[in-house]
Copies of this chain bind each other. A is one copy, B any other.
Amino acid sequence: MADWPIPTKERMDEIFESSKNWGRWGPDDEVGSLNLITAEVRKAAAAAIRQGLAVSCSLDMPVDPAPDNPHPALHMMVQGGDDCLVPGFGLESTADFVGVAFHGMASSHLDALCHVAVGGKIYNGFDVTEVKSTGAQRNSVMAAKDGIVSRGVLLDIPRLRGVDWLEPGDVITPDELDAAEKIQSVEVREGDVMLVGTGRDARRTAKGRWSPVEAGMAGLHPECLPWIHGRGVAVLGSDGISDVLPPPQIEGWTMPIHETTLVAMGVHLLDNLALGELAAACAQFSQWDFQFNALPLRVQGGTGSPLNPVAVL
């Protein structure tokens, strides 16, 4: 692979500016690159269903505290089998409650376009203060209320490199995206959900869980952003959080992938996916594209959603 230096501040500013889709779909647009998922794209996605196989790309609800899960989800029974007779009704029933602050490192979730700001602005130039204490009044997860149903493509970087997993801090470069496409005989197209596998599941299984904040995580080099923008990616997902941790030292930028996709491009992100099972299925069938369904909860004013995305091969 070629050498890819960390961008200077000037180069990073340029990447951000040249990736901007602000105004592209009108001044009031809150949907962003989901606009690229047209009826034709959805029909093409349906054509990618060849095996009739559905594969979850989600981790389990993260109820157990761990180094990568300092704010565990809540799952509690409201009524169990020991006391299941509904008073005055006669039905035997059990029930539970589930709740989560999903923007962590352990929860498979969708980032809405209000989740990140740059210089006080969110996608399409709205002010981040429109994200109120009572909920987002702009760019909420309701942009994806009818679900993200499109063609998905998995780029399996450990497979490309011939390793079981990438190490924390490993950086994926644009030429690797090209090389993965080539070796997998697949191409990321306009309107696609682009998934980047880093082998995080495998590493977690082999080595145990770690804190991405303290010990790092593999992710994309900022120079992948023009690549993503050029392809017209609708949604970007990863088993990590797409960004590298610790982040590259670029003045004025903290998580350049989050900042540029969510804010400049209006590209929703899928973080902390589980891609190991999907990668195995793709390799088995030599099929790296599929229908991909990510169906967020309809939360008015939400900044994203926990969800269980499913690939259908």
Collect the chain B residues with CB atoms within 8 Å of residue A308's CB. 145, 147, 295-298
Which of A202-218 touch B at CB < 8 Å? none
Q: Does A76 contact B (CB under 8 A)?
A: yes
Q: By the criterion CB–CB under 8 Å, are B56 and A146 in contact?
A: yes
- A97 touches which of B41, B49, B99, B291 (Cβ 8 Å): B99
B74 A99 Cβ-Cβ under 8 A: yes
| Contact indicator B38/A52 (Cβ below 8 Å) | yes
A23 in the interface, Cβ–Cβ < 8 Å?
Answer: no
Contact A310 B83 (CB under 8 A): no
Residues of B within 8 A of A131 (CB): 77, 80-81, 84, 94
Stretch of A8-16, A115-123, A181-189 at the chain-chain interface: A115-123
Cα of A63 to Cα of B53 in the assembled complex, Å: 35
Cβ-defined partner of A133 (8 Å) among B80, B115, B296, B312: B80
Pick out which of these stretches binds chain B: A65-73, A158-166, A219-227, A232-240. A65-73
Does A269 interact with chain B (Cβ within 8 Å)? no
Query: Chain B nearest CB: distance from A12 CB in Å?
Result: 13
Let me know if B134 and A77 touch, CB within 8 A: yes
**Which parts of A34-66 form the interface with B (CB within 8 Å)?**
38-43, 46-47, 49-56, 58-61, 63, 65
* Chain B contacts for A267, CB-based, 8 A: none
Tell me the A75-92 residues at the B interface (CB within 8 Å): 75-84, 89-92
CA distance A70 to B43 in the complex (A): 41
Distance of A65 Cα from B129 Cα, bound (Å): 27
Residue of B nearest to A41 (CB): B52
Chain B residues closer than 8 Å to A60, beta-carbon distance: 298-300
A66–chain B nearest beta-carbon distance, Å = 8
In the complex, chain B residues whose CB is within 8 Å of the CB of A129: 81-82
Evaluate contact between B254 and A79: CB separation under 8 angstroms: no
**A2 an interface residue at 8 Å Cβ cutoff?**
no
Q: How far is the CA of A295 from the CA of B41 in the complex (A)?
A: 21
Shortest beta-carbon distance, A96 to chain B, in Å? 5
Q: Find the B residue at minimum CB distance from A82.
A: B82
A306 & B297 in contact (Cβ 8 Å cutoff): yes
Chain B residues within 8 Å of A81, by CB: 82, 114, 117, 127-133
User: Would you list 23 pairs from A and B whose C-beta atoms are within 8 A, ordered by A residue?
Assistant: A43-B51, A43-B52, A46-B47, A46-B49, A54-B146, A56-B145, A56-B147, A60-B298, A60-B300, A70-B70, A74-B99, A75-B301, A75-B302, A78-B103, A81-B117, A81-B127, A81-B129, A92-B118, A94-B116, A96-B101, A97-B101, A293-B310, A297-B308
Other A-B pairs, 10, CB within 8 Å; known A80-B132, A94-B303, A97-B102: A46-B46, A46-B52, A56-B295, A60-B298, A78-B101, A81-B117, A81-B129, A96-B299, A132-B133, A297-B308
Top 10 A-B pairs, shortest CB-CB distance: A99-B99, A80-B133, A39-B52, A65-B70, A133-B133, A81-B131, A147-B310, A81-B128, A42-B52, A46-B49
